[in-house]
Structures are given as C-alpha cells and as structure tokens.
Structure 1
Amino acid sequence: MEGEHQIPFSVSPKEGSLEPNQEMECCIKFSPSLLFEYKSTLICRVLNCQPDMEKKCVVIHGSTLMPVCHFQIEESDYLSSGRRIPSLPAPCRIGNDISFVPGAPLNSDTKVIEFKSFGSGHPCVRYER
C-alpha cells in the first residue's frame, strides 16, 4: 500500500501465489487512531508478468467518526482529602428505595468522578458504587 501519511489500513494476507484463473480473497482492516479522512492505493504486484502490463490498483478510503463522548479522567481525591462537605446529602438505601439524606455517611465503596463541564464551568460530582 502506498500513501502520503502513516495509514491505518492493513491487508491480509500480505502475499500469496495464484494459479491462472484462480481467485484469492483479501481482508482490508481499517484501524485509525486519529480523526481524519484517509485514502490510499492498494497495488497488486505480479512478479512474473510482462513489464509493460498495467498494475492492478484499488483506491481505498476510510473516515473516522468522533465518539459521542470520551472521558480521560484522573482519580479524584475528593473524598480522601476531606474536600467533601460532611453535611451534603448522601445516597442511602431505605427498604428498596434509595434516598439522599443530608449528613449521612457515604458507603466505603463510593467512588467519585470529578470534572469541569465546559458549558457552565462549575464542578460536577457524581457518586457511583
């Protein structure tokens, strides 16, 4: 395969031998790591053909889509550093229901995801167990 940049296409098998009138199925895998439009040319090189014989070429295209949402979040020290205000409501199970009770202790398995939302600029906190 030839192209202008590092391309995210791979072909399997990379090589093989065919008898006259025989066919071979190839798999082209597209594995991009960047948001981009990709275009490359797949060229079939035949070793024992006439020098003036035209090369078999296939132009391949691929495009990436942005994920709906992607988070890369560092572990929060919101609970361990004591930044959580103890009087804030905490989720508590009462029977089959979960209620938020002011001043209740958090379950020891509680994890905190902390990030800034670009729309409002205010910290967002969500409790997960």
Structure 2
Amino acid sequence: MMKIRPPFVLLFALAAPAAAQRLPAPLPPMSTPPPAYGQDMISSGIGERTAQLRTAVGDAFQRGLIGRDQAERLSLPLARMEQQLQFHTPRSYRERVRLRQRLDAIQAELDRYLAHG
C-alpha cells in the first residue's frame, strides 16, 4: 500500500480552488418568475366547458326537464373531471382531444335527454 506523499497533498490543496474557478458562471436570474407548479399558459377551454356543462345539467334538473338518475349520470363524470382539472393541466394534444370527445359525448347525451323530455 502506498502512502500519500506531502507534495501530492499540497498539489491537491492548490488544485481545488483552481478547479472551482473554472466552473461556468451561474445563469443570471430570470426577469419573471416561472409559473407555479401545475400552472402554465395552456388554455384549452376544457375546464370552462366542463363547468358550463355541469351548470346546464343542474339547471335542466332544477326545471324538471331531466330526471334525477339522468342528472346524476351526467354530472358525476363532470364533477370528477373538474376535480382532476384542478390538479392537472392536460398538456398533450391527445389528452386534450380525449377530454373534448368526452365532453362532446356528455353534451350529446344531455341534448338527447332534453329532446325526449
């Protein structure tokens, strides 16, 4: 086993500050802070449409145009979707299309219930 000789220790002690000086400079601070976690500039309108559709279902039930079971069948998925959208922003195109298709299906079902009276 080799012993570390004093000149090598001195060399390492001198090399450490020099290596620290060669690190790249830190990036300057950003002019505006980044958005909070989970929030960004993507506005797909899915949350607003979900809230409007849920309100429409509630109004139709209050007016007696649809029954309680039909209102629950429509409003429970909308409530679940609203809750998920509070904590998750749909980022991918595929996810936004899937949510829009689901909202379209719920809207079509509501229209069908209203047409049959």
Tell me the TM-score normalized by structure 1.
0.21
Greater helix content? 2
Greater strand content? 1
Tell me the TM-score normalized by structure 2.
0.23
Larger Rg: 2
